[in-house]
Amino acid sequence: MGLQDKIANQAQVLKGKGKEAAGKITDNPRLVSRGQAGPGQGQSQAGW
């Protein structure tokens, strides 16, 4: 896996965490659940 792939995967993880945090702040359970799916997708692509 190249450096560019690792960066893209980490960006996916951070994007998901941001969505989750925004969902908690706005009390939006749909956004929270979408945010929780994001980090898992990035980590599975990274092979962690």
pLDDT digits (tens, 9 = 90+) for 2-39: 999 889 888 988 999 999 999 999 999 999 988 888 65
10: how many CB neighbours lie within 10 A of its CB?
14
In this prediction, residue 23 carries a pLDDT of 93
Element (H, E) at 42: helix 29-46
Q: What is the pLDDT of residue 37?
A: 80
Cα four-point dihedral sign 7, 8, 13, 15: positive
This prediction's pTM: 0.69
Residue 24: predicted pLDDT:
94
Q: What are the extents of the domains in the chain?
A: 3-46
Q: Is 19 left (phi over 0), alpha (psi -120 to 50) or beta?
A: alpha
